[in-house]
Structure 1
Amino acid sequence: MKTPQEYEQAWETFWHDAPDEAGGVFWDSDPSLSAGRHQSHFTPWFDPGLPLVDLGCGNGTLTRWLAGRYPRVLGVDLARAAVERAARDDPRGVAEYRQLDAGDLAAAAGLHADLGDMNVYMRGVLHQCEPADRAPLVAGIAELLGERGRVFAAELAEAAKGVLMGLATAPQGPPAKLGAVLGHGLVPGDVADAAVPGYFADAGLKVFARGEQALVTTEFDAGGNAIELPANWLVAGRSEV
């Protein structure tokens, strides 16, 4: 288990070393294959008048896509190297970017004080957290939402472990982009499917909707098809109104 400092440093070095080109990172798929597929799940629940936060924004690919659909979008990430890259890749400034540890309740409260209630889009962040950090992360998200905000969270399903293990232990070695993730010590954790809604319930949030939607990667199988990882999604918040 990593200390918080080791965990943050692993992400800093990953984004420092990550290639600049679009799709150069294992999960950096085209928005039409990620947030575009999720849009129909979260749009009915998000108040379009609230700011939208892309939590775990990385290089900002999805942040910029979301910014074309909501009036104020902020990308946040634990790694300063990630938000600096996201800002560099957004010369027109269609979105805002800020370094944030959402699991730090005081930091989350500070952002809420700045922006008020907000919606949160999160893809594949919870399963990358150390087990002890998952509940604090969701508590921080609840702080960001306030009374009117909603969170859309897409996370790897238990079945994704078999797919990832098969890729990681292939005779020829893991695909290069997955190898880069593993090489920085960023190993996806086991999160039971049934446990994910519980994190949100424990943070005082109600799950309004949930379903299944595979996460598309930027690696391809022998047949030239994009590798997809089984995943589940949910929408949660404090109030249905």
Structure 2
Amino acid sequence: MSVTSRYKEAWEGFWREAPEEQGAVFWDSEPALTAGLHLALAEPYLTAAGLPLIDLGCGNGTQTRFLADRFPRVVGIDLSQAAVEHAEHADAAAPETIGRAEYRRLDAIDKAGIEALRDELGDAHVYMRGVLHQCEPADRRPLADSIATLLGARGRGFVVELAEQAGPILMGLAKSPTGPPPKLLPVFQHGIAPAEVSDAAVPDLFSAAGLDILESGEMPLITTDYTADGKRIELPSKWLIVGRS
């Protein structure tokens, strides 16, 4: 099984055209406002020492590099080869980051590929930010199953997804009289439809995959773009910590 080809092509096209510099993509906020806040929430649950971490949907690697300073091994995986190349180019442009993280193109619902990664790494922690809500409906349960495989018995997953409330906000931005914010526009142009998962569906997907919801909460997802009046765009999101208790 693999991700629906339409979505794979949409992401490949998006990342091929995305600028190289950090912060040029709508969700590519600095780690202090994203992975740093998320790691602080997850830390009490990361009690299995020495486990590697998988950044699932790593994109251009901004958060992956941050996480690589805090775990013994970090592997960023992404559906898009162009995204992986962005991440590798960013590492090459900052020599101090070379070798801290590794990046691979991997379809996260490719059962054989995920099992091979699990065999290589053993139990692992997983960080996933905003991937489920950008999947086709048929791909969501297999994605949750893949995370369960990667976590094994000891790993913990930190999952953050846009809340339902984010959908109307994004649509309002898209239909603004001045047009969508410049960094949001390419998302719509490539046919990527964010915020299409109900709030109740996310924990249900992980429960169905055999994982326990260890903690959950809400926090804004901070983007890199601004409204016409200069206000930074923040979107409501919900987070979960999952694993086998």
TM-score by length of 2: 0.94
Structure-1 residue corresponding to 2:59: 58
Matched, 1:211 2:212: no
- Report the AA paired with residue 5 of structure 1: S
Structure 2, unaligned runs of 5 or more? 93-97
- Report the AA paired with residue 181 of structure 1: V
**8 A Cα contact 1:215 1:230, kept in partner:** yes
Structure-2 residue corresponding to 1:34: 34
Structure 1, unaligned runs of 5 or more? none
For 1:161, what is the secondary structure of its paired residue? helix
**8 A Cα contact 1:129 1:189, kept in partner:** no
Map 1:131-146 → 2, pairs under 5 A: 131-146=137-152
- Report the AA paired with residue 35 of structure 2: A
Deviates more, 1:55-64 or 1:104-113: 104-113
Alpha carbons of structure 1 residues 229 and 48: separation in structure 2 relative to 1, 3 Å: farther
* Distance apart, 1:15 and its partner CA: 0.5
* Distance apart, 1:221 and its partner CA: 2.3
Matched, 1:98 2:104: yes
**8 A Cα contact 2:162 2:195, kept in partner:** no
* Distance apart, 1:224 and its partner CA: 2.6
Question: Any idea what the Cα deviations from partners look like across 1:174-207, whole Å, max 9, x if unmatched?
Answer: 0111101110111114211111100000000000
4+ runs deviating over 4 angstroms: none
Map 1:1-241 → 2, pairs under 5 A: 4-46=4-46, 47-91=48-92, 92-239=98-245
- Report the AA paired with residue 214 of structure 2: F
* Distance apart, 1:93 and its partner CA: 2.0
Alpha carbons of structure 1 residues 9 and 16: separation in structure 2 relative to 1, 3 Å: same
**8 A Cα contact 1:119 1:150, kept in partner:** yes
* Distance apart, 1:225 and its partner CA: 2.7
C-alpha distance in 2, partners of 1:80/1:40?
Answer: 30
Question: Any idea what the Cα deviations from partners look like across 1:78-124, whole Å, max 9, x if unmatched?
Answer: 11111121112112221011111111222111100111110000000
Deviates more, 1:79-88 or 1:50-59: 79-88
- Report the AA paired with residue 192 of structure 1: S
**8 A Cα contact 1:124 1:156, kept in partner:** yes
**8 A Cα contact 2:164 2:195, kept in partner:** no
C-alpha distance in 2, partners of 1:36/1:188?
Answer: 23
For 1:218, what is the secondary structure of its paired residue? strand
* Distance apart, 1:226 and its partner CA: 1.4
RMSD over equivalenced CA pairs, Å? 1.1
For 1:232, what is the secondary structure of its paired residue? strand
